Amino acid sequence: MSNDFTSLGIAAAKNKDYELAVDFFQKAIDADFNNPKNYNNLANALSDLGLIDDAILQYKKAIELAPNYTNAHLNLATTYQTIGNTDAALESFYKVLSFDNGHIDALTNCFYIHFAKKEYVKATFFIARLIEDHPTNIGYLYNQAVTAMLLNEREVTLKHLKLILAIDPNHNPTQHLLAMHGAGEPLEVAPRKYIEDLFNGFANHFEIDLVQHLQYRIPQKIALYVNQSIDKKRSVLDLGCGTGLVGLALNGQYAKLVGVDLAKNMLEKAAEKSIYNELIQSDICDYFISHTEKFDLIVAADVLIYVGKLEAIFSAVSLALSQHGQFIFSIESSDLDDYQLTSTGRYKHSKSYIESLARQYHLVLELLQEEVIRLEGTHPVHGFLVVLRL
């Protein structure tokens, strides 16, 4: 009888009729109250209904009946993660590892939780354990390299990056990290995966880190210039919009605002502000290829620092600007070449390079103003706020 109710509950859940599924799983428990799977199934359906506290209670009942019930521990951990209780999630993942020390999902989640909490030494333990069982997994090797880099362990970083290139010589994020460490040729642009991983990981604490800790004020400086110089009826394209700091700073000084960003998690944060008419997940150049709309103002705040060679972007922007439209952006300044990759993974650009690009793409230079872009630790990062007009 219990199995019949379980089958009906699973069928209802597959049809996304979670209330019916709850009813059937409860009947399965009534028929067999000592079966931990029945409680786990009920908890899953309750979780799908958004009844998180009730789900947690049922997962715990399943675990009481079967202390080594892996799925119940994993589901409980995942549920804790959804409500931001990472400490409780870790406790459940640790429990899984206590009776299966090679469990991939548990090890992976422990790594990512500790990494997100900036507990890099602890994160290293879990990624190293994954590599022990999967020595040629590029994702694991890359995560180990990034973690070692954040711990300033140069030799460990280079070791794992070179292992990756031995497996896949064309792995662009690895090439980029090697170039950052002076062990490879710089790419013309930071790789897409590098940017996506970087900013998807930053999304939850991006504004606190950048605005509060690193004193980032470029959006406000852009807004100050824009509000003094353009008509509120204009359309605005925010390239690399991130969590929406530029859109927020513009404070409604536009008729239409479109945001473009590679990182899905950053776009979700921007959407929460309810200030963009449209948000699009895309690489900048890909966006211009697939969209022909013209804008009165195009903004790129702290975006071109992840692009070395800027010709393609300048060409696309010049075609996407309406008559007399403006292109406003920030860069980090270089006294050397047209552009150079730094150990931060960002690019610096020279004043003469920007001036040359403006002439090449028939853009009038209205402003090239020295600014402190942000802090790097306690040190100011110098750059320019640039305004070009078609």
Quote the mean pLDDT of the chain: 94
381/244 same-domain check: yes
Q: For residues 325 and 314, give the distance between their C-alpha atoms in angstroms, rounded to a whole number.
A: 13
What pLDDT, in 10s, does the model give residues 62-108? 999 999 999 999 999 999 999 999 999 999 999 999 999 999 999 99
Token duo for residue 265: 């998690």
pLDDT over 90 at 142, yes or no: yes
118 and 18 share one domain = no
Domain ranges, residue 129: 112-192
Percentage of the chain lying above the pLDDT 70 cut = 98
- Arithmetic mean of pLDDT, 328-338: 93
Alpha-carbon span 80 to 96, nearest angstrom: 15
pLDDT at 1 over 70: no
Residue-wise DSSP of 330-370: EEEEESSSSEEE-TTS-EEEEHHHHHHHHHHTT-EEEEEEE
Paired tokens of 197: 């991983």
pLDDT digits (tens, 9 = 90+) for 106-138: 999 999 999 989 899 999 999 999 999 999 999
Report CA 9 to chain centroid distance, whole Å. 36
* Whole-angstrom distance, CA of residue 43 vs CA of residue 39: 6
For residue 122, give the CATH number of its domain: 1.25.40.10
CATH no. for residue 315? 3.40.50.150
83 is a domain residue = no
127 exposure class (CB count in 10 Å sphere: 0-12, 13-18, 19+): buried
Residues 291, 150 share a domain: no
> What is the biggest distance separating any 2 CA atoms in the chain, rounded to whole angstroms?
80
Task: Report d(CA 40, CA 118) in Å as an integer.
Answer: 32
Task: Give the residue from 296, 256, 298, 294 showing the smallest Cα distance to 275.
Answer: 256
Residue 207: CA count within 13 A, CB half-sphere: 14
Q: Which among 210, 209, 180 is positioned nearest to 194, based on CA atoms?
A: 180
Give the confidence band of 214 by pLDDT, cuts at 50, 70, 90: confident
Which pair of tokens denotes residue 33? 């109250």
Residue with tokens 């100050």: 224
Residue 51's pLDDT band, with cuts at 50, 70 and 90, is very high
- Could you tell me how many helices (H) and strands (E) the chain has, helices first? 19, 9
On whether both 329 and 362 belong to a single domain, the answer is yes
Amino acid at 124: T
Residue 94 lies in a domain: no
Is 288 within the bounds of a domain?
yes
